Amino acid sequence: MSTTKSPLSIGIIIGNRDFFPDSLVEKARTEIIDVFAKLKLTPVLLESTDTKLGGVETFREAQKCAELFKKHSGEIAGVLVLLPNFGDEKGVADTLKMANLNVPVLVQAYPDELTKMNVVNRRDSWCGKISVCNNLYQYGIKYSLTSQHVSFPSDIPFQQDLKDFVAVCRVVRGVRNVRIGAVGARPGAFNTVRYSEKILQRNGITVTTVDLSEILGKANKLTKDDASVKQHLEAINAYVPQGKTPNEAMLQIAKLDVVLKEFMEEYALDATAIQCWTSLQQNYGCNVCTSMSIMSENMLPSACEVDVTGTLSMYAMQLASGSPSALVDWNNNYADDPNKCVLFHCGNWAKSFLPDIKMDTAPILGTTVGVENTYGALDGRTPANPLTYGRISTDDPKGIIKAYFGEGELTDDPLKTFGNRAVAQIPDLQGLMQYVCRNGFEHHVVMNASRTGTILQEALGNYMGWEIYNHNV
């Protein structure tokens, strides 16, 4: 099971050219270790006695660094290439080739200072970075760049680059190993959530299915006296006020929660997509929204309507930000503002989005299955926040995975309605809707209270090789 909180390490290659001053490499090693300590990152790098000052230049030194990386391959999620001088492009490329980690790589280079352009202090890293990238390109090794061509490790822009890079590493590592549970069949009326398990599996994404009847059958065998049911009922009451929800409905919700947790633990699942209507209401008598909200809040994203690629989107965006995601509908216009719209769903968003959370019913669904069978839906309004939105989808005719991402704002504009709801403000929203419709994307989109669009584009476009559209670019 890969989770957002899994520990990860970053390998460090300090490139060196022998005719540059040794002091530059020695100082760079100390500086980057200090930066990693400040950012609470775990470095994996050669000791200063393993090679000349811990740098990599010769093939023998590349071998030593590669062997070190192999020993830590289970924990290394990315590699930072540090160039305190021009560096040796072959040494860097050979290290990565022999280590064969297949992880993201960030290439950094030190700037020269105009007052230190003499033989003792000159670096030429500006030029060396181009040569290193040229070699990585030749070797077929994918890599990322810093926002500024050269920067000191102590610079704020570089440290932000490094934090963003770590987020890229989390996304790539997580998505390549994610395990998703598909609970039940998709609602018959929703062709929109069709997807290809085979395309997902080719990309390392495993889907484990279970029939909804198995889940409901196990839930029905539980009683109010079971210790696990009592425990989950207490947890639910601590999570959200019961409000007007009958005790009988609370018991049904708790029993279902127990079985879903057991299913996830049995198959080491990171996320779920659940058939949330109408069989659940007609055959069991409640909504599963509360359980889904709790899972999403606990960084185990859960999407409704068996939207497997929707929950994959939630997971990727959670990895990028370190905070919960929510699956929403692109639902309504907001008056006559062309750049605002209403985001909505019946009631399963993570509690982080709902400061005024309360348990309620699902009025729209209740018109067909009876409102009394829809207890467990949540009600609440999301306040103003930064917004990253996006959607991953399998494009079966093309045999690819595609996605779109962008950033905007969640606003406090007035909105009098029910369910889980928010108002979004997005630059050129009309153009985005044109793109969504013309390219056959689903009506579901994922929101995250962050600014992580470029992280997702880098992780899923550059490293996963998916077709990505960034609406902000």
Q: What is the pLDDT of residue 3?
A: 45
For residues 180 and 313, the answer to whether their CB atoms sit within 8 Å is no
CB burial class (10 A; 0-12, 13-18, 19+) of residue 75? middle
For residues 328 and 353, the answer to whether their CB atoms sit within 8 Å is no
Lowest mean pLDDT of 12-21, 135-144, 199-208, name the range.
12-21
Q: Is the pLDDT of residue 370 over 90?
A: yes
Q: What is the pLDDT of residue 20?
A: 85
106's CB contacts (< 8 A; 6+ apart) are 78, 79, 80, 81, 143, 144, 145, 146, 161, 162, 165
Phi, psi of 63 (to 5 degrees): -60, -45
Q: What is the pLDDT of residues 174-222, one digit of tens each?
A: 999 999 999 999 988 889 999 999 999 999 999 999 999 999 999 999 9
What average pLDDT score do residues 141-165 get?
A: 98
- Ranges of beta strands (E only) in 375-453 are 377-381, 385-395, 400-411, 420-425, 444-448
Q: Is the pLDDT of residue 364 over 70?
A: yes
Q: What is the pLDDT of residues 409-460, one digit of tens each?
A: 999 999 999 999 999 999 999 999 999 999 999 999 999 999 999 999 999 9
- Structure tokens, 54: 């811990």
Phi, psi of 132 (to 5 degrees): -60, -45
What average pLDDT score do residues 12-28 get?
A: 91
First-to-last alpha carbon distance for the chain, in angstroms, is: 34
Classify residue 185 by its DSSP letter: P
Q: Is the pLDDT of residue 244 over 70?
A: yes
Q: Is the pLDDT of residue 5 over 60?
A: no
What average pLDDT score do residues 453-473 get?
A: 97
| Rounded Cα distance, 82 and 121, in Å | 17
pLDDT band at 4 (very low <50, low <70, confident <90, very high): low
Lowest mean pLDDT of 6-10, 354-358, 375-379, name the range.
6-10
- DSSP-based three-state secondary structure for 123: coil
**Considering all CA atoms of the chain, what is the largest pairwise distance in Å, rounded to the nearest integer?**
82
pTM, two decimals, is 0.96
Taking the CA of residue 13 as centre, how many other CA atoms within 13 Å lie in the half-sphere pointing to its CB? 35
